[in-house]
Structure 1
Amino acid sequence: MPLAHPAILMATLTTLTLTPPAGRAQDAAVPDHADLHHYTLCEAIAAVRFLTQAEASHCAAAYTRVKLAFVPGVGIEDLPHLTPGERDLVNRDGYARFRAWRDSNVDLVDAVKANAATVLEAEPGP
């Protein structure tokens, strides 16, 4: 797999959209599909090269939004107002729930991973 040029992938990361698979409505019980795709693309990029600082920032934000989708009553705007201990609990809870969701939604996760691999392969190298 060629290493994609950081500027091209950065543009891709900031404009991602993903349509949920047919028959699967997007609701509050699942992460935002664009955030899920964004995070998954970040994983694919990080597997082949270091993320740039801008990519890492965008990826961390997407990952945080994905985890927060599983923590009722806590949004991204709430994080600055939490104590470090509360943020840690929210982070751990969101991570555990996200992992459980991934394990029970293998088909969707595999489709998103395949889409991310296609995007990464389509990008020209540096």
Structure 2
Amino acid sequence: MTADEGPVRVDSWIWSVRLTKTRSQAATAARGGHVKVNGERVKAAHSVKAGDEVRVRHAGRERIVVVKRLLKKRVGAPVAEDAYVDNSPPPPPVTEIPVVARRERGAGRPTKRDRRELDRLRETR
């Protein structure tokens, strides 16, 4: 279960400690430049070691963790929490998340009047 004897890919480690739901999401985040190890953007195949600081931007939130233990395979949540130290800022309160205006499916393109109403709503916030 642990991989203390060899290197572990950063995308595999992010997935195994449950920072992302799938390994492909972790690899996509690394490809997009959303994963940093010790302040440097890295590719998915970059090796991590104990003591590295890993920053992952996923689902609109940045997670900052320090590697305590290397894992190659996905483990249970209690074991995964023991594999890193979480230094992430707390998630934003629900009231601060901006409301996104949604149109009904099939409503078509907004009219000039609709667009002006949307602009008025956005200015009041």
Is TM (by shorter chain) over 0.5?
no
TM value normalised by structure 2? 0.25
TM value normalised by structure 1? 0.24
Structure number with greater CO (CA < 8 Å, separation at least 6) is 1
